[in-house]
Amino acid sequence: MRYYIIAGEASGDLHGSNLIKQLHVLDANANIRCWGGDLMKAEGATIVKHYKDLAFMGFVEVLMNLRTILKNIDFCKKDITSFKPDILILIDYPGFNIRIAEWAKKEGIKTVYYISPQIWAWKENRVHTIKKYVDKMLVILPFEKDFYGKWNYEVEYVGHPLVEVIDNFKLKHPKEETVGKKIIALLPGSRKQEINVKLPVMLEVSKAFPDYEFVVAKAPGMEDSFYEPFLIKYGNVSALAGKTYDVLNKATAALVTSGTATLEAALFGVPEVVCYKGNPISYRIAKWVIKVKYISLVNLIMDKAVVKELIQDEMTTENCTKELRELLENTDRKKQLEKDYTDLKNLLSQGGNASANAAKIISDFVKK
Same fold, 2-159+351-367 and 166-348: yes
Strands 182-187 and 212-218: parallel
Question: Longest Cα pair distance anywhere in the chain, in angstroms?
Answer: 61
Question: In the chain, which residue ranges form alpha helices assigned H by DSSP?
Answer: 10-26, 38-42, 59-64, 66-83, 94-107, 126-133, 142-149, 161-172, 192-205, 224-231, 244-250, 260-267, 280-289, 297-302, 317-329, 331-348, 354-367
CA atoms within 13 A on the CB side of 328: 19
Task: Give yes or no for a contact between 208 and 232, defined as CB atoms under 8 angstroms apart.
Answer: no
State the SS3 of 112-153: EEECCCCCCCCCCCHHHHHHHHCCEEEECCHHHHHHHHCCCC
- pLDDT at residue 224, as a whole number: 85
Which residue type occupies 99?
R
- pLDDT at residue 282, as a whole number: 57
pLDDT, one tens digit for every residue, the chain (368 residues): 999 999 988 889 989 999 999 999 999 999 999 999 999 999 999 999 998 776 555 545 555 556 677 888 999 999 999 999 999 999 988 888 999 999 999 999 999 999 998 887 767 878 999 999 999 999 999 889 999 999 999 999 999 999 999 999 999 998 877 777 999 999 998 888 889 999 999 999 999 999 999 999 998 778 888 999 999 999 999 999 989 999 999 999 999 998 889 999 999 999 999 998 866 655 565 555 556 688 899 999 999 999 999 998 899 999 999 999 999 999 999 999 999 999 999 999 887 899 999 999 999 999 88
Environment class of residue 210 by beta-carbon count within 10 Å: exposed (0-12), middle (13-18) or buried (19+)?
Answer: exposed
**DSSP label at residue 18:** H
Q: How far apart are CA 44 and CA 42, in angstroms?
A: 5
Question: In the CATH scheme, what architecture does the domain 2-159+351-367 have?
Answer: 3-Layer(aba) Sandwich (3.40)
- pLDDT at residue 17, as a whole number: 96
Q: Domain 166-348 maps to which CATH number in 3.40.50.2000, 3.40.50.1000, 1.10.20.140, 3.30.540.10?
A: 3.40.50.2000
Domain locations in the chain as residue ranges: 2-159+351-367, 166-348
- pLDDT at residue 184, as a whole number: 98
Q: How far apart are CA 194 and CA 52, in angstroms?
A: 13
Residue 51: closest CA among 222, 226, 256, 217: 222
Task: Give yes or no for a contact between 291 and 174, defined as CB atoms under 8 angstroms apart.
Answer: no
